[in-house]
């Protein structure tokens, strides 16, 4: 079989394959709904963010506390932070949280969970593709 015959057979085989639809994900990182009261910033939709991330509110609160270097506490389904922060700044931090601790780096799906690895480390384990990454504790 010559190279030309092989190329024709290969082209014919590829032409008979069905067209694959582009993979479309309906996952959207939620935006922060916050308000500033005096010297405190309140995130009103922290439960929705935690549900979308499939993490606890305490995990997100701990991450924001470390990132913004402020004390954070829960009051009636809201996250209260000492300090004045804009929506843009909070959205940037939440997006970064999702990139680091929620979305798989391999298949880009949010179907992940964290497993403890000891010594301040976690494994980000993807339930969709099986990838496993080491991530630093927040």
pLDDT in tens, 62-73: 999 999 999 999
- Whether residue 104 contacts residue 124, with contact meaning beta carbons closer than 8 Å, is answered with yes
Domain with residue 46: its CATH number is 3.30.30.170
Q: Containing domain of residue 98, as a range?
A: 28-102
79 and 116 co-located in one domain: no
* Single pTM value for the model: 0.78
Alpha-carbon separation of residue 129 from 5, 97, 132 (angstroms): 38, 20, 9
Look at the chain and report how many structural domains it folds into: 2
Over residues 31-52, the mean pLDDT reads: 94
């Amino acid at each position: 079989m010559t190279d030309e015959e092989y190329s024709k057979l290969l082209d014919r085989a590829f032409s008979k394959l069905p067209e694959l639809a582009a993979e479309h994900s309906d996952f959207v990182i939620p935006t922060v709904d916050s308000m500033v009261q005096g010297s405190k910033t309140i995130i009103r939709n922290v439960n929705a963010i935690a549900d979308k991330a499939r993490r606890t509110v305490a995990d997100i609160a701990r991450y924001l506390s470390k990132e913004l270097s402020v004390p954070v506490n829960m009051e009636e389904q809201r996250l209260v932070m000492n300090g004045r922060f804009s929506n843009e700044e909070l959205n940037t931090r939440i997006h970064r949280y999702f990139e680091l601790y929620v979305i798989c780096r391999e298949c880009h799906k949010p179907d992940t969970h964290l497993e403890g690895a000891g010594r301040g480390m976690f494994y980000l384990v993807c339930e969709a593709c099986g990838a496993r990454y080491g991530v630093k504790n927040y």
